[in-house]
Structure 1
Amino acid sequence: MKEILDKLKKQGEMLFKAGATEEEILLWENNNIALPKQYTEWLRLSDGGDLFLPAGLQLYGVSHKPIIDIDDDDRPDDSFVVIGALASGDPIVCRKDSETICIYNHEAGVIEVDEVYDDFKSFLNDLKGILGE
């Protein structure tokens, strides 16, 4: 995950927040749900932030605002958690109890097949494609 973070830092303007501590992640998960393992690994490096500024995406954290809100209404259904958003407003969601990361087209009310990623690492590796960079 650190390699991906370092690679991203070289690809455009980014604003990474300080990483969350293990205690902050555990406290958040104890009060909410378990996040995908790769996303929690990412949170240890960057607890939220803005990537590919000015028109990229924002990732949410567990200790830095904006905080992940498991009740965010901008998701397909209750089996998903919003962990970020594209500049277009489309939320980045993870499926509860899964490593799956998706982009939810909230206007159309669908998740496109080509916007479903097996895990957070796959999502990060495709960011340039997602954003049309």
Structure 2
Amino acid sequence: MSSEANAIADLLSSRGQMSFVEPTTNTVIGAFEAEHQFQLPTQLKQWLLVSDGGDFFLPAGFQLRGVEHRPLIEVDDPDRPNDSYVVIGTLSSGDPVLCQRSGERISIYNHEAARIEDDESFPDFFTFLNSLAAVVGAGED
């Protein structure tokens, strides 16, 4: 289990109302990847071992999907710009949060503009999580 993922979970918990779910296992993650023939981003897999999905910054914020607990990541979810992305969650605005089918990048798809904004694309999942309060407008007072 990733100590960085645990530290981020603690930080997020201290900054807002969170609803984490039971963690999954490496076995379940591996079976999900084999079934769907793609690799989840490394840090997302580390997070799923802490919480397999969940809700962040309730009541308005971000809902992360899991590989074992509902709502599940749907690899062919049509709520994405093209097939090179997978929807891993949804912001309260309805905009999907995506990972690339190959790579570590996490992005928010702006439905209204029909594009991914440069300032809403993150090099990896932990950078996204660390920026989440600002993304959902739940910054510290």
* TM-score normalized by the length of structure 2: 0.92
The aligned counterpart of 1:69 is 74
Instruction: Please state if 1:132 is matched with 2:137.
Output: yes
Amino acid at match of 1:107: E
Match of 2:53 among 39, 45, 48: 48
1:6 match = 10
Q: Deviations over 1:38-80 (max 9, x none)?
A: 0000000000000000001100000000110010001010000
Q: Distance in 2 between matches of 1:94 and 1:49?
A: 17
Q: Look up the equivalent residue of 1:58 and give its one-letter code.
A: Q
1:100 matched to which residue of 2?
105
Secondary structure of 1:115's partner?
Answer: strand
Within the alignment, does 1:25 sit opposite 2:29 as a pair? yes
Cα displacement string for residues 72-112 of structure 1 (whole angstroms, at most 9, x for unaligned residues):
00101000000000001000000111000000012221000
User: Distance between the aligned counterparts of 2:50 and 2:82, measured in 1?
Assistant: 29
Report the TM-score, using the length of structure 1 for normalisation.
0.98
* Count of residue correspondences: 133
Question: How far apart, in 1, do the equivalents of 2:121 and 2:128 lie?
Answer: 8
RMSD (Å) for aligned C-alpha atoms: 0.7
More deviation in 102-111 or 63-72? 102-111
Identity %: 50
Deviation of 1:128 after TM superposition, in Å, equals 1.2
| 1:129 shift after superposition | 1.0
**Distance in 2 (alpha carbons) for counterparts of 1:92 and 1:73:** 13
Q: What code does the residue aligned with 1:110 have? A: R
The aligned amino acid for 2:18 is M
Question: What residue in structure 1 maps to residue 88 of structure 2?
Answer: 83
Question: Which structure 2 segments of 5+ residues have no match?
Answer: none
